[in-house]
Structure 1
Amino acid sequence: MTGFDHPERRPGLLGAVTVVLTAAAGAIDVVTYFAFNQVFASTMTGNLVLLGLGVGQGEWDQVVDNVCAMLGYCGGLVIGTLVCGVAMRRLPWRNAVGVALTVEFALLVAVGLYWWGVDDGSVTAQAKVVVLVVGAGLAMGIQAAAMRYIGPAGTPTSFLSGTVTNWVSSLVEFHQPFRWNWNSPLRIGVMVVAAAGNAVLQHQVPDLAFAAPIVLVAVAIVMMARVTRANHGGLVAGEPQFAPVPVDAGEDDLAGAGRVLGRVVDASGEPRSAAVTLVDMAGRQVRREDTAVDGGFEMEPPDDGQFVLICTPRGGGVPPRAVMVSVDGAPVRHEVVLGEPVPATA
């Protein structure tokens, strides 16, 4: 997972929501693939390739099919973003994500009822397939828009090329401390398993194949409700204040940035939730923020100079740690290691 506005309670359950929604995306892509000339409701990369293939080979039916799927998905992005934006005028972002997922669920149920209610031999059979694909695309677009509020880079639940890239690359980044990430391989694996399972269901009982993604989205809504309940205290309406996006550029590319960034970890190297405060040499607090769930922090001092970086762990038991930092226009990176727990006094 990426960053959040405050240290999260039940972050594992929030990650599980993304895994379940990934399964829903894999299941629904199988239905549209078989029903509508090998198009996908959520995987726009595949649709773009097939669109180019159709144009190149002059297969205009294929072009129309892919355009329908992509228009549905883009329409869903618009709807999902608007739903979240309106909801966050009164609700915290976790609630807004739940509202968007509920809209997605209602849309899937409506499309499913239409799908099951129209006879394949009727004159509206072709319209039935169009409704299925466009409706499924709308649902997946709403889901993708909602998932943008899980982290600053979004948490993909359908287009997993970036997930594969980031996870595999992180396994061999020897210049950084190794941190195993369960969420990425789980989403990758569950996409395959869900697609395979629904392909079998599509072959054996075609009428039930569309029920699988509906059930999975319903499960995700229940899980998101539990996350919201666990984090209800002290939340305000609006978007999350995300932790900074990890910087991928080199030191030379960041010249003049003057940022202080890094991670807070415990003695074993595990991320630690902490309040990070930057104090100038006159004793004035100039910046303060909470670490992300991975212990990361990033802040930009008002000017260059000497500062004291104070990391105060949440939950007590470990003393704060202060380090001197010198900012001279280039990024300053620090991995702050908190000490051993303080022995309890009698």
Structure 2
Amino acid sequence: MTGFDHPERRPGLLGAVTVVLTAAAGAIDVVTYFAFNQVFASTMTGNLVLLGLGVGQGEWEQVLDNVCAIAGYCGGLVVGTLVCGVAMRRLPWRNAVGVALTVELVLLVAVGLYWWGVDDGSVIAQAKVVVLVVGAGLAMGIQAAAMRYIGPAGTPTSFLSGTVTNWVSSLVELHTPFAWNWNSPLRIGVIVVAAAGNAVVQRQIPDLAFAAPILLVLLAMVMMARVTRANHGGLVAGEPQFAPVPGAAVPDAEPSKPAVPAEPAEPAEPAEGSAPAGVGRLLGRVIDQGGEPRPAAVTLVDMAGRQVHRTHTETDGRFDVRPPESGQFVLICTPHRMGGGAHRPRAMMVAVDGVAVTHEVVLGAT
């Protein structure tokens, strides 16, 4: 199902990235299917079934082929997750996805150069197909790991059984309002079209078949760069926190009300993870113009751009942010995306100096 965790200025383009990468997965599966005993670089369900079939029939060459493909893909998942994790220490998640796609592209180009450049009569030609399948599996694993950070829309770009299940079921659900979703059928259709097109290339000009997934991943990188550039405002380093199940549309943010001293509270025992003594706390509510609470992610960023605290509002719109130290910070309230168009975060400067203060953030349509 299509859905994004954060407000987007280009949600359609972000969804298109998943469609293009799905086409890349379909195109590269065709190459490995013909080159290496009918195994897939990205579709692990098929490889697992073939692995079991090989074990059951005692075809150990088939078993070895599928183990190579599965090991390559799992290795790519590890690499992709580590790349995104390291990148998100300093970059927003969209940039981290772009970094992972860059690693995937470099790997595909390297495998392609090896595939095209090695003479079939040379000594290292014996490992040519193994390098192709393991390298392609690594690339698809990196892609799958990176797409997890796009959210529900980005998760399946190769294993589409869940996409088919969710989309077809959503067409006939009686307990929810009908809403047409273009992203899922596009991904379902494009993987078939890409596989068919590259099968024709594989039959007519085999040496060019591996160029198709490389060009498609390059196109996805260009599109992801546009998404990142369009959404640079208000983003901080770190992984996105996915929003809960939507209930109603959240409007764009209006300027927040000035900070006022919080009402005195009864002394309480210090809770685990509470702010250091003498630092103070940031309390508040996120509401709409009618005074109703609205769900949002609340992030505190220091003046060096580092995320120092992140939480979500309670059901009544209240939040409790615990700064690690006194000083100036940026408080960012990001309304959860709950249908409709794009919504902007609300950012404001706050001062923390040993006294608890309350910030009431009012959201409203622009």
* TM-score when normalising by structure 1: 0.75
Q: What residue in structure 1 maps to residue 335 of structure 2? A: 290
Contact 1:8 1:293 in 2 (8 A): no
Match in the other structure for 1:92: 92
Shift of 1:3: 2.9
The corresponding residue for 2:172 is 172
Q: Distance in 2 between matches of 1:162 and 1:219?
A: 25
Q: Is contact 2:101–2:142 with CA below 8 Å preserved after alignment? A: yes
- Aligned runs of 1:59-78 on 2, under 5 Å? 59-78=59-78
1:255 equivalent in structure 2: none
Matches of residues 1-346 of structure 1 in structure 2 within 5 Å?
Answer: 1-5=2-6, 7-151=7-151, 154-244=154-244, 246=245, 262-264=247-249, 273=251, 277=287, 279=293, 285-286=317-318, 290-292=335-337, 294=339, 315-316=365-366
Displacement of 1:212: 0.3
Please give the alpha-carbon distance, in whole angstroms, between the structure 2 residues aligned to 1:291 and 1:92. Answer: 17
Q: Is the 8 A contact 1:111 1:132 kept in 2?
A: yes
**Any conservation in 2 of the 1:41–1:133 contact (CA below 8 Å)?**
yes
Moved more, 171-180 or 182-191: 171-180
Question: How many Å separate the matches in 1 of 2:240 and 2:21?
Answer: 21
Describe the shift of the 1:290–1:209 C-alpha distance in structure 2 as closer, same or farther (beyond 3 A).
same
Give per-residue Cα distances to partners, 1:10-57, cap 9 Å, x unaligned. Answer: 100000000000000000000000000000000000000000000000
CA deviations 1:197-216 (Å, max 9, x no partner) are 00000000000000000000
Matches of 2:126 and 2:364, distance apart in 1:
59
- Give the distance between the partners of 2:103 and 2:148, measured in 1 at CA: 16
- Letter matched to residue 122 of structure 1: S
User: How far apart are residue 136 of structure 1 and its match?
Assistant: 0.2
Instruction: Give the Å deviation of 1:175.
Output: 1.4
DSSP 3-state at the match of 1:158: coil
Deviates more, 1:117-126 or 1:133-142: 117-126
Equivalents in 2 of 1:136, 1:150: separation in Å? 22
Q: Displacement, 1:121?
A: 3.2
- Distance in 2 of aligned mates of 1:153 and 1:209: 28
Number of aligned residue pairs: give it: 277
Cα distance in 1 between the residues matched to 2:364 and 2:184:
27
In structure 2, the residue matched to 1:332 is none
1:290 is displaced (CA, Å) by 1.5
Q: Which amino acid aligns with 1:262?
A: G
Deviates more, 1:24-33 or 1:152-161: 152-161
Task: Tell me if structure 1 keeps the 8 A contact 2:98–2:221.
Answer: yes
Indicate the RMSD between aligned Cα atoms, in angstroms: 2.3
AA in 2 matched with 1:225: A
- Write the deviation string for residues 142-169 of structure 1: whole angstroms up to 9, x where unpaired: 0000000011585210000000000000
The alpha-carbon deviation at position 279 of structure 1 amounts to 4.8
Partners of 1:142 and 1:73 in 2: CA distance: 8
Instruction: State the shift of 1:83 in Å.
Output: 0.3
Q: Which residue of 2 aligns with 1:327?
A: none
Instruction: Return the letter of the residue paired with 1:35.
Output: A
The verdict on how the C-alpha distance between 1:89 and 1:315 changes in structure 2, with shifts beyond 3 A counting, is: same
Opposite residue 4 of structure 1, the aligned amino acid is D
Distance 1:273 1:161, change over 3 A: farther
Tell me the distance in 1 between the aligned counterparts of 2:293 and 2:43: 47
What is the CA–CA distance in structure 2 between the aligned matches of 1:312 and 1:25, rounded to whole Å? Answer: 44
Identity rate, percent? 81
Whether the 8 Å contact between 1:69 and 1:134 is mirrored in structure 2 is yes
Distance change (3 Å), C-alpha of 1:285 and 1:165: closer
Q: Deviations over 1:270-303 (max 9, x none)?
A: xx645674659xxx8525861325359xxxxxxx
Residues 97-146 of structure 1: CA distance to partner in whole angstroms, max 9, x if unpaired? Answer: 00000000000000000000112233333300000000000000000000
Structure 2 distance, partners of 1:218, 1:132, is: 19
Contact map agreement 2:118 2:125 (CA 8 A) in 1: yes
User: Which structure 1 residue ranges, 5 or more long, are not aligned?
Assistant: 247-260, 265-271, 297-310, 317-346
Runs of 5+ unmatched residues, structure 2: 254-285, 295-315, 320-332, 342-360
Q: Hey, what does 1:324 align to over in structure 2?
A: none
CA contact (8 A) 2:18 2:153 kept: no
**Kindly tell me: are residues 291 and 314 of structure 1, through their superposed partners in 2, closer, same or farther at Cα, counting changes over 3 Å?**
farther
